Structure 1
Amino acid sequence: MSYIEDEELIDGLYNFLDEVLSRAVGTFERIVRDRIILDVLMPEALIKAIQTVERISLPEAENLFMDGPVYSECEWEEFDILVLQQLEAQEKHH
């Protein structure tokens, strides 16, 4: 599940968390470091952001995070149209 759609923002958050991890505990193997950032730190950062932006309790923010992003019917329709357009474009190239 993704709460950030901008790749640049995701990279920025990852790099920030990588630096925080380096300062807090030193070095790890790269794969271990990636797992800690992606499986622990990034979800925690997103939950805290949800809590702050929505002005809700931590348990409420955790529940929202676990439920995933909420999309309107219109957004789902736009997504479906975009996927169909991309599939049609791929078929034309093959």
Structure 2
Amino acid sequence: RTFPVNGQFSEEQAALYNIVLNAQLAAFEEIKPGGYLSHANKLAMEVLTQGLLDLGILTGDFDELMAQQACKDYYMHGLGHWLGLDVHDVGDYKINNVE
């Protein structure tokens, strides 16, 4: 996370900060034994998409924006990514061919 250099958020900065915070909190709800990173990422994307839609940064239908992964213009990598070469990573990229 980032904070404004002068210690105070502008209205716009606060709005974006809170969207990101809410996305993070939604993802935390899924991060538990038996949870999947892909599900946590989807929850975060839902919060981000709705937040950006509410602010007018994204426009259109929520379901269509989610299908297009429209928030990816602002959230490129998701919650994380694999490190190094696949041979060094534990686990599968997909579970039952589902991201």
The interval holding the TM-score normalised by the smaller chain is: 0.3 to 0.5
- Greater CA radius of gyration, 1 or 2? 1
User: Where is the helix percentage greater, Structure 1 or Structure 2?
Assistant: 1
- Per chain length, whose mean CA-contact separation is higher, i.e. which structure has more relative contact order (CA < 8 Å, sep 6+)? 1
